[in-house]
Amino acid sequence: MEELLGLREGSSGKPVTLQELWGPCPRIRRGIRRGLEWLKERLFRVGEDWYFLMALGVLMALISYAMNFAIGRVVRAHKWLYTEVGDGHLLRFLSWTVYPVALLSFSSGFSQSITPFSGGSGLPELKTMLSGVVLEDYLDIKNFGAKVVGLSCTLATGSTIFLGKVGPFVHLSVMIAAYLGRVRTKTMGESENKAKEIEMLAAAAAVGVATVFAAPFSGVLFSIEVMSSHFSVWNYWRGFFAATCGAFMFRLLAVFNSEQETITSIYKTRFRVDVPFDLPEIFFFVALGAICGVLSCAYLFCQRNFLRFIKTNRYTSKLLATSKPLYAALAALILASITYPPGVGRFMASRLSMAEHLRSLFDNNSWALMTRNSSPPWPAEPDPQNLWYEWYHPRFTIFGTLAFFLVMKFWMLILATTIPMPAGYFMPIFIIGAAIGRLLGEALSVAFPEGIVAGGEVNPIMPGGYALAGAAAFSGAVTHTISTALLAFELTGQIVHALPVLMAVLAANVISQNCQPSFYDGTIMAKKLPYLPWIRGRKIGSYPVTVEHFMNGTLTTLAKDMPLEEVIKAVTSTDVAQFPLVETKESQTLVGIVERTHLVQALQTEPASWAPGQQRFLQDILAGGCPTQPVTLQLSPETSLYQTHSLFELLTLQTLFVTSRGRAVGSVSWIELKKAISTLINPPAPK
């Protein structure tokens, strides 16, 4: 016990201790303490969510930069090994192929041994989770370690395998957000809130894209388009705040490491600003968008069907089931052998990394015109100042190498998507689109060597602008997004081609969205993940279709006056997760919901107060403490299919009960909705 001295002069009568009275500078200490309490009150008035989002952005930026740093060292080691083994083709071939084969087989084996959820992009599963479906252990922290190690090994293979990191990094960001959310819940003593968790996961998806490309605006918009069917404006601000923190820290680390002088875009271009394009070129940009849309449909169709073939084929399915690392090694051997530089890789610019591919394709000079009267020699090593030399071959010319690159990468990327390992597929699609645009731009520069005359002035055509539009259009068509146009501007730091690039992206999306599902939706279908099909605005027939036409009418209800023998019989004869609770058997008035697990637990616990042979009813179980849930939402038989679909998507619901004048008459789940939409889109043939 501290000795009380008495009352301080001028105090309100509260006794003080000797330590408080004779401590050094008591008034200053009290003032500092009050100031800190005031500051704490003001800071936390903003809300702890903002500190959580800032920590998420900074942490993901550190992880992204550390991964890039380590991967860069491994890639340089591979290049050094390839150049130092000598001139013998056998040793050079082995050094070129064994390296990625070993890394890829380890990536597949390690990640799959930890958890099977670490393979692939991760975006299809995240999209399924944000729609309300629970995927067990998908956001577990052990999945994070497997994804980081596996993704690092995948990216360390360089351009031989030609894969990116956008999708897996979004998955990593969401896992970190889920883990931080659990830590905050335990620390603050809060109860779990499913709606709040989904809000944080949606913001984390934007952070994943922003910390890969240092593009906060397009990161938020891309995550909205890919992950959500409905989006809250409140989450929009959260996503922007977290993405900005992550992108700023990611580029700031490059400045601290003396890689950049200041914060700039990653793939900076030098397009002409005064007259970047002539008005007649708008037609060619739109045509480029149409070409990208058609090619994206071909790619999506081939990729989805090849993935199904791999899963259903007797040999490949057995290999994937028993030895995933062996399948990854065989696929890597095929891909690496084709990209061997002295061989076929000479015609594909295989010595360039994926970043160098983009920098060279965005070059504003016309390679076809530069090589018209001269043939530059093929350097022993890629020249950083003249990366376009890698795209030229005297026999193939620029057009031949670009076309060969597109044909080969088309099927090689499809093969790479079947390998069970952590990998992203957005960056390769972006580069393929840039090559499509570059090919058209080079053709136009040859067709109009002096440019297209408009208004008496002649401005040469810049093929790099077409490469930029092609990258945004093809990637946007494959993913069914418009934000790739903004991503292209943030990556290059120039917005002079804003109108033609946006028109190309829109033209590509018009074709792609009307012909094929997006890459992520197609993967959801191929993996047989639960999903709700879209109801397009043109499907006016969705309005006359009502709930009574497709609801499940065989509903097992539990009445309060139901004997326990009948309750036990109903529980054992069905496997539903929840039962509708009605007032009486006769009225069938819906009054609540009983979870199956709670009911089974209550039935197994028999109160000691019950007399032997006494007739017992369900209401006795409920009165004994079995919890029930109120019915906050319910459907009417007259509710339209369109309204029901919108309600399920907006609130991420799984099941709703249907009532007519208060009586429970049926239920609607994803199964009934999917059947109704399928019947609407593909009506049965008349008999």
pLDDT tens track for 536-553: 654 555 668 888 888 888
Name the residue with higher pLDDT: 327 or 1: 327
Asked if residues 557 and 579 have their Cβ atoms less than 8 Å apart, the reply is yes
pLDDT band at 613 (very low <50, low <70, confident <90, very high): low
Q: What is the pTM of this model?
A: 0.84
Distance CA 497, CA 488 (A): 10
> Can you identify the CATH homologous superfamily of domain 51-256?
Clc chloride channel (1.10.3080.10)
Q: Which of 11-25, 26-40, 254-268, 298-312 has the lowest mean pLDDT?
A: 11-25
- Poorest-pLDDT segment among 92-101, 129-138, 169-178, 489-498: 129-138
Confidence category of residue 4, pLDDT binned at 50, 70, 90: very low
The one-letter code for the residue type at 589 is: T
Cα dihedral across residues 651, 654, 660, 661: positive or negative = negative
Q: Give the range with max mean pLDDT: 47-51, 279-283, 372-376, 463-467.
A: 463-467
Q: 569-579 as b/e, with b when 16 or more CB fall inside 10 Å?
A: ebbeeeeeebb
Paired residues of 16 in beta bridges: 6
pLDDT digits (tens, 9 = 90+) for 332-366: 999 999 999 888 888 888 888 888 899 999 988 88
CATH homologous superfamily for 540-681?
Answer: CBS-domain (3.10.580.10)
Per-residue pLDDT, 475: 94
pLDDT tens by residue, 372-389? 777 777 777 888 888 888
Q: 627 CB contacts (<8 Å, ≥6 apart)?
A: 595, 598
What is d(CA 583, CA 592) in angstroms, rounded to the nearest whole number?
9
- The pLDDT tens digits of the residues spanning 29-83 come to 677 777 766 665 555 554 567 778 888 888 999 998 999 899 989 888 888 888 8
* Average of per-residue pLDDT values in the chain: 82
Least confident of 221-230, 257-266, 324-333: 257-266
Domain layout of the chain by residue ranges: 2-45, 51-256, 540-681
Question: d(Cα 671, Cα 674) in Å, to the nearest integer?
Answer: 5
Q: Name beta bridge partners: 124.
A: none
Q: For 127-259, list the strands marked E by DSSP.
A: none
Pairwise CA distance, residues 412 & 417, whole Å: 9
The total of other beta-carbon atoms located within 10 Å of residue 87's CB is 7
- Quick one: tokens of 196? 């709040």
Closest CA to 188 of 315, 75, 52: 52
Between 652 and 336, residue with greater pLDDT: 336
Confidence of residue 9 (pLDDT cuts 50, 70, 90): very low
